[in-house]
Amino acid sequence: MDKEKFTTQCLEHFRRVSEQALQEQRLFLCRILKKNEQTELGKRYGFSQIRVLADYQKKVPVSEFSDYDQIIERQIQGEEGLLFPEAPVFYCISSGSTGIPKYIPLCREDVEKQHIYEDGAVCAIIRESMPELSWQEIFGTVFETGEFFCTYMENGIMNGVRSGAYFRYARESGLLDISGYSAPGEVLFPPVLEDMQYVKIRFALEQETLTGIHCVFPNRLAGILYFIEKHWDALLHDMECGTVSEEFMVKPEWKTYLQEKLLPNPERAKNLRKIQKTKLGNQMIRKIWPKLKYIRVIGGELFQPYMKKIKEYAGEIPIHCFAYASSESIFGIGPYVNQPDQYVLLADMCFFEFLPEKEADAVPMTFAEVETGKKYELLITTLSGLYRYRIGDVVEVTGFYGQAPIIRICYRKNQILNLADEKMDLSQFESAMEQFQEEGCFQAKGYCVDGCYEDGRPFYRLYLETEEELPQDAETRLDQCLMRKSHGYEGARKIRELSKARICMIPSGTFDAYEKWEKNRGRRMEQRKPLRILMTEEQKNFFRNLNERMERE
């Protein structure tokens, strides 16, 4: 396949669809209803009788995952024609509210369109931003930071995270060309869920002519860059000698693999040693890889601490915040490089409805009705059989790209923290805390949690008020409870994208003092809910500066 020609065609498709987005949305909904009218859900809701949007909104209720879990389980067991007519090609794994993973089935068209947008159109947007450079200069060798684990359902259908869906599908179909990546296929597609960070870094450091870095979530990229800075001398020693230092805790089979694949490279190590560790941090990426042209990552305001750190390492290297997506679908892509928090909604990927923020009884709106500057909760109808599905995202329309809204993500409802794509919600956290107190034989007078980023890796900090003594292994117990209650948290811990949770004991009376502080700021307390999540900077600063405040008072 002519990759450059393909990406140009994908960008043309994206722009054509965006220019006529109103028509595309109407066609999308009609086509999905027609295609799926003989499925179980199609018959239940009378898809064949729906003629206009008002009928669709009247006949088909707003839904969430709990409305699909049983029918998806039947599909996993082998039944067909439930959500869409054909058999799924992939199951996305996402966190469930009970700690049990959710499996979202994807049809073939869903995965193939992910390729058109996330790979094809995004590459063309990056290419267009640097017209003076050749294709090879931009995309010659890419450091792909994701690991697309080769895991399967019991019936043999692939499963994994959404970002890896097309990679896995294309690889198993013989369509994937990995010649442009710094790491070999067996490193990109490890057989089990494990931390491959060191292995991938070693291959990337060997490539003096690296041209791009691809990552999904910025916490991972920030962690990788911090790891390189922190372990600089040991990494160069391993490169020079063709060894794997014990401090990296690499499994024996991967040690052997690296020693076979990466021979001692004293010349590259010598050149890199010219970069003193003490001067490594600022603009580190260009110092290590002088030919690097771009970074591709999901970014923006929701990931502010990580993006700040990445920009310190990147300097002037262009950063493309490339996509807005979840397990359920790809919703939008970034139309411009170096402009975070701007995603054009994809009119032929989902049918979108918009519920005005804080207007519970409002009629859902369409592309034609939303207004710039207004915030809305999204409902989606997908290619893979989710109808009027509540994903929990509140977005703001910031403009239009043709007829398609450009949005930024404001916040996610009912979600506690999303430091490493773990998507732990409030019910999971509170369930873990109940178990933690029971196992530790203590009773909390109050507790809340903050997401922190220190030493290169994010972690949860629990602020805990209790008059009882905690067990010596309290932090380990808390971490285990969180892993049991949240599949997403467990996965992030296993591949070390999250550090172990930490506990900060706070003085007796702290939560009473917090309520007094809130009341003094003019907040009405009649219908207050217990503080569980530190969301605002004011809340975070109250607890972070607690000791200093208590001394003053």
Higher pLDDT, 51 or 536: 51
Q: What is the arithmetic mean of pLDDT over 6-22?
A: 97
Beta bridge partners of 461: 450, 502
- For 152, the token pair is 């399967």
Q: What is the arithmetic mean of pLDDT over 505-513?
A: 85
> What confidence score (pLDDT) does residue 510 get?
86
**Rounded to 10 degrees, what is the CA torsion of 234, 235, 236, 241?**
90
> What confidence score (pLDDT) does residue 98 get?
41
Is pLDDT at 456 greater than 80 in this prediction?
no
Contact 288, 275 (CB under 8 A): yes
What does the DSSP assignment read for 398-447? Answer: EEEETTEEEEEEEEETTEEE-SSS--EEHHHHHHHHHHHHHHHT---SEE
- Angle, helices 232-241 vs 266-273, to 10°: value is 160
Is pLDDT at 527 greater than 50 in this prediction?
no
Q: What is the arithmetic mean of pLDDT over 476-501?
A: 90
Share of the chain above pLDDT 70, in %: 94
- For 451, the token pair is 């997401």
pTM for this entry? 0.80
> Could you tell me how far CA 338 lies from the centroid of its own chain?
19
Residue 536 CA to residue 458 CA, distance in Å, equals 18
> What confidence score (pLDDT) does residue 99 get?
45
> Could you read off the pLDDT of 213-272 as tens digits, one per residue?
999 888 789 889 989 998 999 999 999 999 999 989 899 999 999 999 999 999 999 999
- Share the mean pLDDT of the chain: 89
Share of the chain above pLDDT 90, in %: 61
Contact 483, 434 (CB under 8 A): no
- For 28, the token pair is 């999308």
Residue 219 CA to residue 229 CA, distance in Å, equals 15
